[in-house]
A and B are shown apart, each in its own frame.
Chain A
Amino acid sequence: DTAVSQTPKYLVTQMGNDKSIKCEQNLGHDTMYWYKQDSKKFLKIMFSYNNKELIINETVPNRFSPKSPDKAHLNLHINSLELGDSAVYFCASSLFGTLGTDTQYFGPGTRLTVL
């Protein structure tokens, strides 16, 4: 059973397109996250949702919009894709998310390539 799953695993698209990445967790966790990992492997938080409510919104361009239809899903929509958006995007979840001290479980990642 996959705890945190993401689709698609690979996404190749042209500049200017709009795309979505989906994330689902079956752990019953309250908090979900999106992280971006750049080509140098640096992991940086983008968004965090707790019980469908936005908690963290780091300095991410407003072309990126997370959507949480329920607490088991957190999708990431990206409009007007740019070359610099190429990265691996990881979804994660944690039980409560209290002050970042809960174990975070990561999905397998989505490698986005913008041509």
Chain B
Amino acid sequence: GENVEQHPSTLSVQEGDSAVIKCTYSDSASNYFPWYKQELGKGPQLIIDIRSNVGEKKDQRIAVTLNKTAKHFSLHITETQPEDSAVYFCAAPDSGYALNFGKGTSLLVTP
């Protein structure tokens, strides 16, 4: 099955700086890569996703890049704000109908 590695496990940045979280996957057939944000006490929420036919996707301050050759994808958050503080998960499809999640990155944005 798919194996997703995520790093760093914790990330602390100052407000206004950029944050980058990286993930690698093992199954070259994977074609869908979502990123989820989990705030304290809540369920994960999709913030952005990318499919294998594009290399980059952007939504305001959030962007995701995909390198299929190297089998890695990254989340970029620019102009970070305190409300960006949360746990972020990358994921890739497992053997049908489910997502295999990375172990999460705890992002702390300090004012």
B46 touches A31 (CB 8 A): no
B49, chain A: closest CB distance, angstroms: 7
**Cα of A40 to Cα of B89 in the assembled complex, Å:** 13
Contacts of A56 in B (CB 8 A): 94-98
Select from chain B the residue with minimum beta-carbon distance to A107. B43
B103 at the interface (CB under 8 A from A): yes
A104 at the interface (CB under 8 A from B): yes
Chain B binding site: helix, strand, loop or mixed by DSSP?
strand
Select from chain A the residue with minimum beta-carbon distance to B51. A101
Number of chain B residues close to chain A: CB under 8 A: 28
Contacts of A43 in B (CB 8 A): 44, 89, 101, 104
B108, chain A: closest CB distance, angstroms: 14
Select from chain A the residue with minimum beta-carbon distance to B49. A103
Mark A50-63 against chain B: 1 for CB-CB distance below 8 A, else 0: 10000110000000
**Cα of A109 to Cα of B92 in the assembled complex, Å:** 21
B62 at the interface (CB under 8 A from A): no
Contacts of B44 in A (CB 8 A): 43, 90, 106
**Cα of A48 to Cα of B106 in the assembled complex, Å:** 27
Mark B20-57 against chain A: 1 for CB-CB distance below 8 A, else 0: 00000000000110101010011111100101000000
A55 touches B43 (CB 8 A): no
B99 at the interface (CB under 8 A from A): yes
B100 at the interface (CB under 8 A from A): yes
Name A residues whose Cβ lies closer than 8 Å to a Cβ of B: 4, 31, 33, 40-45, 48, 50, 55-56, 90, 92, 97-101, 103-109
3 interchain residue pairs of minimum CB distance: A100-B93, A106-B43, A101-B32
